[in-house]
Structure 1
Amino acid sequence: MRNYGLLSMLLLVCSCLSNNPKEASLLESAVPKTYVLSSSEGIQTRNDVVYLNAQKYSGFLYEFYPNTQDTLFINGYLNGLLHGVCKKWYAKKQIMEERIYRQGAKHGKQVAYWENGNKKFEFIAQNDAYEGELKEWTFDNKLIHLAHFKNGQEEGTQKSWYDNGKIRANYVIINGRRYGLLGTKNCKNVSDSIFVVK
Structure 2
Amino acid sequence: MRFYTLFFSLFIFSCSEVVKEESFGDVTTQQPSIIPAIQVYASNTDTDVKNGILYYKDTPYSGVYIVKFKNDRIKSKSQYLKGIKEGCTNKWYADGKKFEQRYYSNGHKVGVHTGWWNSGAKKFSYHFNDLGQYQGSLTEWYNNGQVFREFNYVNGRENGAQKAWKANGNIKANYEVVNGERYGLIGLKKCFTVKKGQDKVTR
TM-score bracket, shorter-length normalisation:
0.7 to 0.9
Residue identity over aligned pairs, in percent, reads 31
Provide closer, same or farther for how the CA distance between residues 172 and 47 of structure 1 changes in structure 2, counting only shifts above 3 A. same
Aligned-pair CA distance for 1:11: 2.4
Q: TM-score, normalised by structure 1?
A: 0.81
Q: CA RMSD in A?
A: 2.1
**Could you tell me how far 1:45 is from its partner in structure 2?**
0.7
Q: Any residues of structure 2 matched to 1:82-161 within 5 Å, and which?
A: 82-126=85-129, 127-161=131-165
Alignment of 1:55-94 (within 5 A): 55-68=59-72, 70-94=73-97
1:191 aligns with 2:203: no
- Larger helix percent: 1
1:26 aligns with 2:39: no
Q: How many residues align?
A: 175
Please name the residue that 2:26 is paired with.
13
Indicate yes or no: 2:177 matched with 1:173. Answer: yes
Matched, 1:40 2:44: yes
Q: Radius of gyration: which is bigger?
A: 2
Which structure exhibits the higher relative contact order, with contacts defined as CA atoms closer than 8 Å and separated by 6 or more residues?
1
3-state secondary structure, aligned to 2:26: helix
Could you list the per-position Cα deviations for residues 123-179 of structure 1 after superposition, in whole angstroms to 9, with x for gaps in the alignment? 111221100000000101111100000000001100001111111110111122111
Where structure 2 has 5 or more consecutive residues not aligned to the other structure, the ranges are: 1-20, 194-200
Residues in 2 aligned to 1:33 and 1:190: alpha-carbon distance in whole angstroms: 61
C-alpha distance in 1, partners of 2:161/2:30?
Answer: 32
Deviations 1:13-40 (A, max 9, x none): 333xxxxxxxx6337x432111001120
Paired residues of 1:183 and 1:189 also in contact (CA < 8 A): no
2:12: which partner in 1?
A: none
CA distance in 1, matches of 2:66, 2:85: 13
Per the normalisation by structure 2, the TM-score is 0.79
- The alignment partner of 2:30 has SS state of helix
Aligned-residue offset at 1:116? 0.4
* Unmatched 5+ stretches in structure 1: 1-7, 16-23
